[in-house]
Each structure stands twice: as structure tokens, then as C-alpha cells.
Amino acid sequence: METLLSNTPYSVLDLATVIEGKTPADTFRNSLDLAQHVEDWGFNRYWLAEHHNMISVASSATSVVIGHIAGGTKTIRVGSGGIMLPNHSPLVIAEQFGTLESLFPGRIDLGLGRAPGTDQVTAIAIRGERFNAANDFPKDVLKLKQYFSTENAKSSVRAIPGEGLDIPIWILGSSTDSAHLAAALGLPYAFASHFAPAQFLTAIDIYRKNFKPSAQLAAPYVLACINVVAADTDAEANKLATSLFQLFKGIVTGKRMLLQPPVDNMEDVWDVYEEAQANQMLACTFIGGRETIRENLQRFLEQTQVNEVMASSHIYDHQAKLRSYQLLSEAFKG
């Protein structure tokens, strides 16, 4: 069992959380500090996600923040988990990530999602007449691959920089839809089990059974996003996790807030319905001391056989967040 953990790469999903009493500028400083620490602790990747019109998420200009993180680190892979491709033209994303790969060669990942990363009104503001662009997602992924190819040098529209660069493309999913696309194109598949675990096992089974090898990938590769709140004791971790619970209460009720400090008793904060709804979304959440985290992660890996784990940690205090990721790395190292 130890071998399974020690042989599995582990990574970070940074949702660029803005905490109560702080600003996005504070978030970006903390994100870079976290990235520098996790690089030293053996983490494999550091991904940021595109969201819009959310007061608690600062990574709306995802490519810019990726550049900030990559510029302040040396070896860790940095990328998007993900870029919401229907919000953009494939050419613009090819140019942006071509620029990032040119600045930080061999370190950039491009994860692509189909969802808007926001509410419908904001999606309309972003996409305008392209509001139904999600329907073009498979076609737009192929366009993006074409812009990165050396063959595109003969085209009248070229991505400079971008053309001829080896930038790994990932397909992101929170349901079974993207599993079919990732399998058909032979691309690695990252699943958002940190907030949408309901179809996780079904989706990765579809992906594995239908996978077709490609130039990028010879065999299926599944990355699972999970929530992790680790601390020196189970009791401390459970207290810290109340910030995560409050965040998901806001998602369930539609009343989003900045990340709140921990509380002593969640029963004073949410009702039974809100708790049940949040817990359904938080099924792939790991809370506890190092040994508790290690035991539960071993079971998770045995059950899912995923190739890589990516941890998101909504923790109010920055030092406690650093400690959580340090303990997670120790859990993987055994």
C-alpha cells in the first residue's frame, strides 16, 4: 500500500482564494509563496483555474497568473486547470500559452474545460455572440492542436509564438461528457472530483475503456482533483476545514463570500439541508493529521487507480495552508 502512494505524483490546484480581510494582491503573493514551498516539497504541478465574477477567486486572468507563478519558480510544472476554452478563440489561447512555453520551456500545461467558469449572465458578457461556443468545444480543441503543430506553418493563420511547441493539452471534466472527448483524442484527463464527485468513477471508466493512443499519450492518464485539509492533529484539521465548509455553504445557497475564518461549530452556521448538499459535493475530501490523510489516500488510490492526485486546500491562515501541503507531501513520501 505504501508503494502505491510513494509512486503516485501529487500536485496543487490553486483556486487563488481571496480570504476575508484581504485582497487579490495578497492572494497572488501567497500563491507564489505556496508555489515556491511546494516545489521544494516535491509536488509535480501547480495549476490555476479560470473563474469569473466570483469575489473569492482571483484567477480570472489565468494566463497572467500562470506567468507570475512560473516566473517565481524553477522546476515545477505550471498550468491551467483549466482554461475555459469556449470563453476564448483558440488562436488567442495558442498565442498565450505559446508565449508562456517560450518563456518557461518544458514547464507549461494547458488544461481545457468546456464550462463557462461563471454564471450565465457573466458568460454572456464574456462570449457575446459566441454564447453557444461550448457546442464547438471538440472542434476548438482540434483547432488549438492545429495551431501548435509544425504543419500549421503553411496556414494563412498561425500562432506565433506557439507553433511547433510541445505544450501538453489536458481535457478537464466534471461529468461524463469530456471523458469521451479525452479518450477519442488520446489526451490526459483531469476530473473535478473536488466539487463534482458524483460521476467521477463512471467518467474515468468511460475514459479508460474508450481511450485511443495518440502522439501525446500512449495509455490513459487520469488526474483526480481532491480537497485536502491536513494539520498536526485530526482535531486541528477538522477545525480548519470549517472554512472549506462555509465556502461550500455559499456555493449551495448561491451566497458566495470571501473565505471565512474557522468556527468552533458548523451547526451554528448551516442547516441540515445545506450540510447534506455540501457533503455530497465534498465526497472526495481528505481531512486529518498526516496518518489519517495517508490511510484515506491509500484507500482512494486503491479504489480509483488514478495516475496522479491534485489537491485543493481552502485554508484561511496561510501558514496553516503551507503546513497542510507539507504534511500531504509527507503522506505521499511515506
Q: What's residue 54's pLDDT?
A: 87
Q: What's residue 185's pLDDT?
A: 97
Strand partners, 171: 112, 189
Angle of the 24-40 helix axis to the 318-333 helix axis, nearest 10: 20
Residue type, 286: F
| pLDDT beyond 50 at 283 | yes
pLDDT in tens, 25-35: 999 999 999 99
- Rounded alpha-carbon distances, angstroms, from residue 31 to 54, 229, 313: 18, 17, 12
Say how far apart CA 315 and CA 245 lie, in whole Å: 10
- Rounded alpha-carbon distances, angstroms, from residue 198 to 117, 201, 209: 19, 8, 19
| pLDDT beyond 90 at 256 | no
H or E stretch at 65: helix 62-71
Helix (H, G, I), strand (E, B) or coil at 99: helix
Q: What's residue 69's pLDDT?
A: 98
Q: What's residue 131's pLDDT?
A: 64
pLDDT in tens, 241-254: 999 999 999 988 98
CB atoms within 10 A of CB 139: 11
Average pLDDT value for residue range 199-207: 97
* DSSP codes of every residue in 8-22: S-EEEEE--BPBTT-
| pLDDT beyond 70 at 134 | no
The grid coordinates of residue 58 equal 482571483
Residue (of 285, 288, 282, 284) closest to 230 by Cα position: 288
Residue 79 C-beta-side C-alpha neighbours within 13 Å: 27
Dihedral Cα 178, 183, 187, 191, nearest 10 deg: 40
pLDDT in tens, 135-170: 789 999 999 999 999 999 999 999 999 999 999 999
Residue (of 203, 245, 209, 241) closest to 223 by Cα position: 203
Please check whether residue 328 is in contact with residue 10, taking contact to mean a CB–CB distance below 8 angstroms: yes
| pLDDT beyond 60 at 1 | no
Burial of 210 (0-12, 13-18, 19+ CB in 10 A): middle
